[in-house]
Amino acid sequence: MTTSNSLSGATRSMMTRTPSRTIGAVALASLSLAACSKDTLNITNPNIPTVAGASADPQALQLLATGLLRQNRNSRGGFITSTARFGREAYIYTPNEGRNTSAYLIGISGQNRLDPSGFAVENWGGPYGNLRDVFNFKNTVAASTLTAEQKRAALGFAKTIEGIELLTVIATRDTLGGVVQINLDASDIAPFVSRDSVYKYILSTLDDGNTDLGAGGAAFPFALHSGFAGFNTPTTFRQFNRAMAARAAAYYATSGGGAAAWQRALTALSASFINPAGTSAAGLAAGVYLPYAAAPDATNPLAQATNTDLYAHMSIETDVPLKADGTRDNRYLAKIGTRPTRSAPQGLGIPSSLGFNVFPAISTPLPVIRNEELILLRAEALLGTGDKAGALTLINSIRVSSGGLAPSTLTAASPDADIITELLVQKRYSLLLEGHRWIDMRRYGRLAQLPRDITTGVNAHFVARVQPLPQGECLQRRGKTGALAGPGC
Amino acid sequence: MGRLFKFLAAAAIVAVLPLRADAQTRDISGKVTQAGSGLPLPDVTVSVVGQQIGTRTNERGEFRLRVPSAEVVLLARQLGFKRQTVRVGPNETAANFVLEKDVLQLEGVTVTGQATTTDRRVAATAVATVSAAELNRVPARSVEGNLAGKVAGARISDNSGAPGGGGQVQIRGATSILGQGDPLYVVDGVIISNAGTSSGASAITRAGGTVGSVQDQVVNRLADLNPNDIENIEVLKSAAASAIYGSRATNGVVVITTKKGSSGQTRWNVTQRAGTQQMMRSLGHRQYATLTDVLPFVGGPVGEAAARANCTPNCTNYDWQDQLYGRTDPSWETLVSASGGANNTRYFASLSDRQESGIMLNTGARRTGGRINIDQTIGSKLTASMGIDVTRNFFQRGLGNNNNAGVSPTYEFGYTPAVIDLLAKGPDGRYVRMPFNGGGVSTANPFEVINAVKSDETVFRQAGNLRLGYTALTTARHSVQLSFLGGFDRYQQEGVQYSPNYLQFEPADGFLGTAGQNNVSSLQTNNGLNAVWTWTPATSLITSITTSVGGSYERQAQSVYRIRGRGLLPTRQTAAGAADIATEDTRTQFRDQSYYVNEQLLLLDEKLALNAGFRADRSSANGDREKFYVFPKYSGSYRFTKPFTDKIDEFKFRGAWGQSGNRPRWADRDILYADGGIIAGQGSLVSAGLLGNTAIKPEVMNELEYGVDASFFGSRVGLEFTKYQRKITDLLLTFPLPPSSGLGNQIINGGQLSVLGTEAVLSLVPLRRGSFEWTSRILFNRNAQYTNNLPVPSFAAPGSFGSAYGRNFFVANTRSSLIWGNAPFGANGVVRDTILFDSNPIHTTTFNNDFAFKRFTFSFLADWRNGGYVSNMTNNLWDEGGNSRDYDAPAPTSILPGSRPCGTETLGECRYSTFNGGDVRPYMQKGTYVKLREVTVNFQAPDTWANKIPGARSLRFNVSGRNLALWTDYWSFDPEFNNFGNTNFNRFIDLAPFPSSRQFFLSVDIGF
């Protein structure tokens, strides 16, 4: 080894410079490595569309609009099977799953209270999932390059869906209230508001939507599915919007909205696709539907062909109105059929031998709202505003055209309660398995009239007034106060 | 990047100056032998101190070296032996070395940075190095197997007994719940993939998923590495040691160095091994004497008819396991290597072919590969090293573990009384149908399944590395080294599944025949630049100061494509045209960049060592891709030589603190849409229920480690003692969002896990007399793992079967290793999901012993695991089916103190009915065992023997065995196994695995 003592001063200074220069060069090289490759860390997910990436795609608006409709359809089957069980229209008699009965008709064992961590908590996550997408859709529209007119059309569409989803929430939670606000930051918990506020929000949202649609030009910037045939331009879609507003206003009227709400319902009905003269089968059926098809599309969850666990409550047979010739109501004959007798497992329910023929095939569409309901809604609203004769005219029209029954013996002099009873019978049979019975009975304070199959013992049935919030909603609100705490589970 | 490399290449060419001063030289030759036995030592590095001249000894321990004519000092060193220097005068031409075994492992160097090492004697963190000799004493399926029991602090377990590999290495406890749990593996500077990706067995077993699941006896890709090519393995355990690998290092780093060539004529080495294997333990089978005994367990009328036909009225009991798992066909391994060097080139090349026969019929594995490592000196300043490794790895592992189709043999045997001959064939030439367990399409004859079902995996793997070193400056006081390292690791995995139409179980899913193809391709590359400046003032205050800086860029990409078809035309083995087709097509990518600065000080006559440094990382996996996350480290050690008394050679105190990270998973940062499905022919987009997090960042581990290394009695006794405390924060967790937000969960950072542990290594030479030497090493390891806090509700560890079967559960301020499950611990015996046992062993202790006598060496390695409970679902299945070997044994009053009374039930009945009543404890079984992992006897033949073989210079014989014995009260095959493969938690689910095997090898090793 040589020693550095022998090196000349010049060499030494060069040597001492060299390492620092070298290190400097390397540091520089490293920095350039960073500078030129920063962008290489930006990888786009090739497997799943990102919100940031896909929203800018020309197809995005169409896909998102279809997404709102697809999500809305997703939760509809569950809405009908849960409310039909609460309203004693239907059973789900799954052979090895007693909870499909007990969770709805008995609740927590011995408590006659629905379990927040059990099965009967639907109609919450589904609607809110879609409300999140409505929120995203509105933002996408706002940021899009659509014309002002197209934007109004798209917003009108989104607000209509928003109203529909919130109506599902409040129709099942009623006095618990609900959340109407979607925050950009999903972990930022939104406050609960009262039932009254929810209805007001729904009605104003639907009204805003109607206004937007009115300024929305001749066509939507996306296509609606075949269930909207006849309602697929902003102008015709408004009739659907008004129909939903009429249902919302009628619900509000019996939930504190009073006469003013009934008036709103009447106004909305006038702008809807209501056709009191349309009393043929096709006329009554006219409306908006959810289409179904074989995979990869979804099949009708209530289809007679596939849902063999779906049974009808025997009281539908017992209570059926009879025609003049003593035979049963046409609606009963068309919609109810016999099935091999079945009961809930473990003695949780009583046997039934009736099933529904409402949706015969897996591709039978499911109504969202149709003329027959609008006629009955108008009857309700007329009754609510004191026009008993007008109400009875419409009720009788349905009795005759839909049920094949003789006109009612009630007159304008009959007590309101009797007319309401008659109206509820017509709604029951006209709108069988369409998600109305339980809500209507609650609206008129008649839940106690619904039959309880088992009245004693640990399996005693009860009629739920509202669906509980899912456990997860309460856990996330634990420790919060005021509106953020919500009504609890 | 490209421009930079061009610049570097140009700079390199300019720098290579033809400075070859032909000074006066002479040759020195000599021999290196081992102290005691006098046996020659091959592969010892002999070098001239202070100069870049060196060579390696050949198979007979001989070397020849050209050195300057002046006096030189020669140094001989090899890992595993103490180094020795010899002064050679100007006129001498011979030098011999006698090396002593380095029992206490004081020699060698340890990795301190991307481009720096330090002498082990001054290392400031606990060091775990395993040499080639120690690693390859007994052949193993995969490198994990070779490492088992040799690294304090690493728990290494096989996932099943299937041939070819599949094992887990967990260093110092679990550090993550959802993130990566495996150590980072680095081979010659290149980060390699240890991914374990299913080859699609679930398409047939329906264990989980449609096309593949973690329950498919998955092989992790470490299995592709040939352990015989490895020179040494160093395991970086503490965060202070692993921080040099930044945000991929919380689970430790396994640094693997492969063999290099040495100057001199080419030396060939040929090893031929032949071996066999047998089932280590059988589960046994309940014996049925008469028809009356078996009738309650036949499972239906078909089974009853079969039982009546075969038990007339006495039953013949068959040993199905012996018939299916009794295969002893030979296993083979051929290894050929050549190593040598001339002028400025050195090379090492190897070819290997390993054929392992599985104990189960129709199973096996074959790994064929080759490696070339070349070291080239270009002029006096530039060195280039490159390596290429090509491997084909083929597996036929059969079906095992969980299944829902009636095809996993150990599963099915549990439900079927062994009173008929399943090997019998009917008039149609097919195996008899399984009549028991319903006798229908939910069961199968395992012999037919294993013979007819194809479940193969083929892997082609190529890896390469290139390292360029440039000595920018060398003076007596300063040296500056620049280096570039680039490498790649690529593999293509092809899994083929085929289950023919005619099999008994095929109609169960409504489709006859199943075919699947599963392709996985992976490419990883990394590049790094390093500059190291060493200043050696050589004063008594400062011995040396080493400063290094550098950076790296790493890429990993994997794509998985699977197709599975059901409903096939007869004999058609492809999914095309099948009645029902499912596919998966997924691609994942990561890109990481890093910079580091590292400072290493050696002070006070090499007594005090201080290290400090940091690494800054950014990654495509982080929410903020531009942000650098900094991982610092500090460590120091001080050596006392001969304190108090001469009996104590040395005492070293060391302490280290460091931080390392675990980067987020693929797509954790992405806010994604989900495919909303189709409505009336239109596709749709909706929000994904799982919300990504644009602020997601790496999990961070802080680790404090301290310990003492001491040696006594002239290096006869050594002790290493280490304690560590690791805290892992910013865990990746799924945070449940309020349902009214419209979303389900969000990925967040939060919470804290911690691990406290102790490691100790006692090395000693109990006896050394004449040529007899007994050396012993005892490794001790224990830790306690905690969940400290969680910002989310308590939740069960992913990868389990739920509370009825036991699993880890995360609750704040609780041990994370506890097994939670159902037991009647509530008021009035109400079943509750509660803490039952601890899955973490009290300790694991390994005993390594080597005995050398003249030409013989004998070694064994025994592993003792004390405690640690296992969820024995295999026993559960067999009890449910009524076929456990001890089913009829008398039951105690109750299976556990306080559990349901057994009454008149037998043992098996009582275990199962206790479980069925909501008490999983009968199947939570203690996994204590002692396993004789390795036994080997070596005989180094005299040269005269070797000379009888033309051209041969050395000859060695070896007899060895792996997993020769297992002492345990555990009921099933092996308490190490896990149905879910490599998992961070829940590593204790035994569910009908491929049984473990005992393996024997006879080897002949010839050097030319």
> In the numeric block, which tokens belong to residue B811?
């609750």
Read off the pLDDT of each residue in B337-341 and give the average, rounded to a whole number: 92
Give B945-956 pLDDT, tens digit per residue. Answer: 998 999 898 999
Give B501-558 pLDDT, tens digit per residue. Answer: 999 999 998 999 999 999 999 999 999 999 999 998 878 899 899 999 999 999 999 9
A7–B475 C-beta distance less than 8 A: yes
Quick check: B8 pLDDT over 50? no
Domain extent, residue A174, equals 57-479
Residue of A nearest to B483 (CA): A26
Does residue A21 belong to any structural domain of this protein? no
Give B137-189 pLDDT, tens digit per residue. Answer: 999 999 999 999 999 999 999 999 999 989 999 999 999 999 999 999 999 99
The C-alpha of B681 sits at a distance from chain A's nearest C-alpha, in angstroms, of 7
Nearest to B737 among A41, A131, A186 (CB): A186
Cα-atom radius of gyration of chain A, to the nearest Å?
30
- Classified as helix, coil or strand, B671 is coil
- Give the separation between CA B562 and CA B943, rounded to whole angstroms: 56
For B602-606, which contacts have Cβ atoms below 8 Å and span 24 or more sequence positions? B602/B118, B602/B122, B602/B542, B602/B543, B602/B544, B602/B545, B602/B546, B603/B541, B603/B542, B603/B543, B604/B540, B604/B541, B604/B543, B605/B540, B605/B543, B606/B122, B606/B543, B606/B639
Does residue A459 belong to any structural domain of this protein? yes
Helix/strand number for chain A, H first, E second: 17, 6
Single-letter residue type at B208:
G
Q: Do A158 and A134 meet the contact criterion of CB atoms below 8 Å apart?
A: yes
Give B606-637 pLDDT, tens digit per residue. Answer: 899 999 999 999 999 999 999 999 999 999 99
The C-alpha of A470 sits at a distance from chain B's nearest C-alpha, in angstroms, of 8
Of the candidates B621, B585, B763, the residue with the CA atom closest to the CA atom of residue B695:
B621
pLDDT at B78: 82
Read off the pLDDT of each residue in B855-865 and give the average, rounded to a whole number: 96
| Phi-psi region at B854: left, alpha or beta (left = phi > 0; alpha = psi -120 to 50) | left
pLDDT at B9: 45
Q: Residue B449 belongs to what H/E stretch?
A: helix B446-452
Give B787-804 pLDDT, tens digit per residue. Answer: 999 998 889 998 788 888
What mean pLDDT value characterizes chain B? Answer: 91
Neighboring chain A residues of B738 at a CB cutoff of 8 Å: 189-190, 472-473, 476-477
Give B654-667 pLDDT, tens digit per residue. Answer: 999 999 999 999 99
Q: Do A48 and B673 meet the contact criterion of CB atoms below 8 Å apart?
A: yes
- Number of structural domains found in chain A: 1
Please identify which residue in the block is written with the tokens 């070349």.
Answer: B374
pLDDT at A445: 96
Nearest to A136 among B477, B678, B687 (CB): B687
pLDDT at B15: 41
Read off the pLDDT of each residue in B4-32 and give the average, rounded to a whole number: 55
pLDDT at A25: 55
ipTM of predicted assembly, 2 dp:
0.87
Least confident of A253-262, B65-74, B206-215, B825-834: B65-74
Adjacency order of strands within the sheet including B97-99: B62-68, B25-34, B97-99
Q: Do B340 and B261 meet the contact criterion of CB atoms below 8 Å apart?
A: yes
Cα three-residue angle B7-B13-B17, rounded to 5 degrees: 145
Quick one: B635 exposed, middle or buried, by C-beta within 10 A (0-12, 13-18, 19+)?
buried
Does residue A30 belong to any structural domain of this protein? no
Nearest to B739 among A33, A38, A473 (CB): A473
Neighboring chain B residues of A30 at a CB cutoff of 8 Å: 529, 549-551, 595
A225–B593 C-beta distance less than 8 A: no
Q: Do A36 and A28 meet the contact criterion of CB atoms below 8 Å apart?
A: no
A32–B740 C-beta distance less than 8 A: no
Where b means 16+ CB within 10 Å and e means fewer, B513-539 reads bbbbbbbbbbbbbbbbbbbbbbbbeee
> In the numeric block, which tokens belong to residue A468?
């509980």
Does residue A150 belong to any structural domain of this protein? yes
**Higher pLDDT pick, B828 / A298:** A298
pLDDT at B11: 42
- Give the separation between CA B146 and CA B851, rounded to whole angstroms: 20
Q: Do B812 and B883 meet the contact criterion of CB atoms below 8 Å apart?
A: no
pLDDT band at A353 (very low <50, low <70, confident <90, very high): very high
B477–A4 C-beta distance less than 8 A: yes
Please state the pTM of the whole predicted model: 0.87
> Measured between alpha carbons, how far is residue A133 from residues A128, A159, A221, B564, B929 in Å?
9, 11, 18, 34, 56
pLDDT at B605: 86
Does residue A81 belong to any structural domain of this protein? yes
Of the candidates A94, A67, A95, A62, the residue with the CA atom closest to the CA atom of residue A81:
A94
> In the numeric block, which tokens belong to residue B507?
């109609």
Cα-atom radius of gyration of chain B, to the nearest Å?
30
Neighboring chain B residues of A36 at a CB cutoff of 8 Å: 1, 3-4
Q: What does the DSSP 8-state code read for residue B870? A: E
pLDDT at B42: 80
Q: What angle, rounded to 10 degrees, do the helices at A148-173 and A234-252 form?
A: 30
pLDDT at A5: 38
Alpha helices in A304-415 (DSSP H): 315-318, 330-335, 371-384, 388-401
Beta strand ranges found along B343-453 (DSSP E): 345-357, 364-378, 382-396
Please identify which residue in the block is written with the tokens 């007119």.
Answer: A149
Does residue A5 belong to any structural domain of this protein? no
B682–A66 C-beta distance less than 8 A: yes
Pairing of strands B253-258, B184-187: parallel
> In the numeric block, which tokens belong to residue B1004?
């002949």
Q: Please enumerate in sequence order all residues whose Cβ is within 8 A of that of A388, keeping only pairs 6 or more positions apart, or say none.
A: A382, A412, A414, A416, A419
Give B432-468 pLDDT, tens digit per residue. Answer: 999 999 889 999 999 999 999 999 999 999 999 999 9
Least confident of A15-29, A191-205, B762-776, B940-954: A15-29
Does residue A225 belong to any structural domain of this protein? yes
Residue of A nearest to B670 (CA): A50
Q: Which CATH number goes with the domain that contains A208? A: 1.25.40.390
Nearest to A22 among B473, B738, B740 (CB): B473
B533–A19 C-beta distance less than 8 A: yes
Q: Residue B783 belongs to what H/E stretch?
A: strand B772-789
Q: Please enumerate in sequence order all residues whose Cβ is within 8 A of that of A152, keeping only pairs 6 or more positions apart, or say none.
A: A212, A213, A215, A216, A217, A234
Nearest to A48 among B620, B672, B737 (CB): B672
pLDDT at A489: 80
Give A223-240 pLDDT, tens digit per residue. Answer: 999 999 999 999 999 999
pLDDT band at A8 (very low <50, low <70, confident <90, very high): very low
- Classified as helix, coil or strand, A120 is coil
pLDDT at A21: 55
Q: Do A178 and A192 meet the contact criterion of CB atoms below 8 Å apart?
A: yes
The C-alpha of A45 sits at a distance from chain B's nearest C-alpha, in angstroms, of 7
Quick check: A114 pLDDT over 70? yes
A29–B688 C-beta distance less than 8 A: no
Q: Please enumerate in sequence order all residues whose Cβ is within 8 A of that of A58, keeping only pairs 6 or more positions apart, or say none.
A: none
Phi/psi for B658 (5° steps) reads: -160, 170
Q: B896 forms bridges with which residues in the sheet?
A: none
Q: Do A97 and A344 meet the contact criterion of CB atoms below 8 Å apart?
A: no
pLDDT at A20: 53
- Give the separation between CA A166 and CA B67, rounded to whole angstroms: 90
Nearest to B591 among A43, A45, A67 (CB): A43
Give A421-458 pLDDT, tens digit per residue. Answer: 999 999 999 999 999 999 999 999 999 999 999 999 88
B618–A42 C-beta distance less than 8 A: no
Please identify which residue in the block is written with the tokens 């400075």.
Answer: B19
| Phi-psi region at A349: left, alpha or beta (left = phi > 0; alpha = psi -120 to 50) | beta
Phi/psi for B875 (5° steps) reads: -60, -40
End-to-end CA distance of chain B: 45
- Give the separation between CA B59 and CA B947, rounded to whole angstroms: 13
Read off the pLDDT of each residue in B979-987 and give the average, rounded to a whole number: 92
Does residue A35 belong to any structural domain of this protein? no
Quick check: B331 pLDDT over 70? yes
- Give the separation between CA A380 and CA A374, rounded to whole angstroms: 10
B625–A41 C-beta distance less than 8 A: yes
Neighboring chain A residues of B477 at a CB cutoff of 8 Å: 4
- Classified as helix, coil or strand, B557 is strand
The C-alpha of A472 sits at a distance from chain B's nearest C-alpha, in angstroms, of 6
Neighbours of B118 (CB within 10 A): 21
Q: Please enumerate in sequence order all residues whose Cβ is within 8 A of that of B614, keeping only pairs 6 or more positions apart, or say none.
A: B243, B596, B597, B630, B631, B632, B633
List the domains of chain B with CATH numbers: 23-99 (2.60.40.1120), 143-274+332-407+444-799+841-868+927-1007 (2.40.170.20)
Give A49-66 pLDDT, tens digit per residue. Answer: 998 888 888 889 999 999
Sign of CA dihedral A320, A324, A330, A331: negative
Quick check: B21 pLDDT over 50? no
> In the numeric block, which tokens belong to residue A301?
């969850």
Quick check: B489 pLDDT over 70? yes
Neighbours of B613 (CB within 10 A): 24
Cα three-residue angle B804-B809-B813, rounded to 5 degrees: 145
